[in-house]
Amino acid sequence: MLDKNFDPDSFLNNNFDDFWRFLFQHLMNICAKQKSKELKNSRNGIRHKHSKFKNIIEALGKVTSFVQAQHYHDDNFIYINKIFCFFFHPETPDVHRKGMIVQFFKILKTLSASNIADVQEAISLIIPYIYFVEKDSPEEEVFTTELFQGKGLQPLNDPSQKIGDKKTCIEDLKFFLNWIIENWDANNEFCVSALNLNILNVIYKKFTDKYEENGSLPKYGFLNGPPEELHDVIISFIKDMYSKNEKLNWNPFFKYEHNCLLVLDIGREVLSRKKETDFIVILRFFSYILKNEEYFATFKEAKEDILLDMALIFKIIIR
């Protein structure tokens, strides 16, 4: 595929289905070999693996540059989901994770809602929240159980490259949120779902647990409150969503009652942190909501005294 004479049409017609299956098997073989001490301690083995991962990412880049929705078959997604899970594992080196995240979002643009559901396991690993979770804590146990237990997910070891850290998590969160802003109109259903399930519910689990009724939200998240660095990223995202993109339609987000309630709880979280710049963002966001008749009506329907709660937050901030 990295040959200069690579023929995309021939590949799609003759090799596309096999590509995903063979790549999955190749990664499975790599993971099996990783258990060998001889390979782990071999300097040649380390260089070989790094080269292989780089070639995989480059080859996939060729695929994502021309593949369209009609080229996929349902059977492909069993392999696609697992392939990206290998790369998105938090113990896979950051350089390989980031290269595949770029390719994954290119693929997401071409998928239907049902096919996106088929790769939800991989989506849940894009942001490595585990870097912010305290070791040996109840939170870590929930994260580990929900994301990894019984799923056969393994990292791709490459001792020549570094594993990510909190900075990695922040960068990947920002990348995901920027993608959501850029694709809000074109991929609205997925953007709202990802923002709910994979971002806000995790970071603000302390709040979302209070008004979840049907068990549809993931069980993992920061039960003791959002980490400050991740909360700061969300505040910046809110600012970007209403200030730089005034024409974006928030109705698909606000139509869910729990999202209206969560916006208020984020406002209360801002109050508790007493950060002046965040006060301004929340004030302007609430004003933005109240000035839009549709959003105003949605909030009013969500909870009888929700506007009173919003007014109270206004009053406290202004003081």
pLDDT at position 214: 62
Q: What is the mean pLDDT of the chain?
A: 84
Write down the residue that tokens 């984020």 correspond to. Answer: 266
- The confidence band for 40, taking pLDDT boundaries of 50, 70 and 90, is low
- The confidence band for 46, taking pLDDT boundaries of 50, 70 and 90, is very low
Concatenated DSSP letters for 135-189?
TTSHHHHHHHHHHTTTTT------TTS----HHHHHHHHHHHHHHHHHHTTTTHH
Higher pLDDT, 246 or 87: 87
Q: Angle 139-141-144 (CA atoms, 0-180°, nearest 5)?
A: 110
**pLDDT digit string (tens) for 104-117?**
999 999 998 889 99
Determine the average pLDDT of the residues in 24-37. 80
pLDDT at position 20: 94
- The confidence band for 314, taking pLDDT boundaries of 50, 70 and 90, is low
87-115 burial, b for 16+ CB within 10 Å, e for fewer?
Answer: bbbbebbbbbbbbbbebbbebbeebeeeb
pLDDT at position 48: 45
Determine the average pLDDT of the residues in 151-170. 91
Residue 1 has pLDDT above 80, yes or no: no
Residue 304 has pLDDT above 70, yes or no: no
Instruction: Output the six-digit token pair for 120.
Output: 């939800």
pLDDT at position 147: 93
| Segment 114-117 long-range contacts (CB within 8 Å, at least 24 positions apart) | 115/69, 115/72, 115/74, 115/77, 116/190
- The confidence band for 59, taking pLDDT boundaries of 50, 70 and 90, is confident
Residue 95 has pLDDT above 90, yes or no: yes
Determine the average pLDDT of the residues in 287-293. 77
**pLDDT digit string (tens) for 179-219?**
999 999 888 899 999 999 999 999 999 988 887 666 678 88
Cα 98 to Cα 88: distance, rounded to the nearest angstrom = 8
For 152: left if phi > 0, alpha if psi spans -120 to 50, otherwise beta; the answer is left
Determine the average pLDDT of the residues in 125-132. 97
Determine the average pLDDT of the residues in 264-291. 83
Determine the average pLDDT of the residues in 62-74. 87
pLDDT at position 43: 46
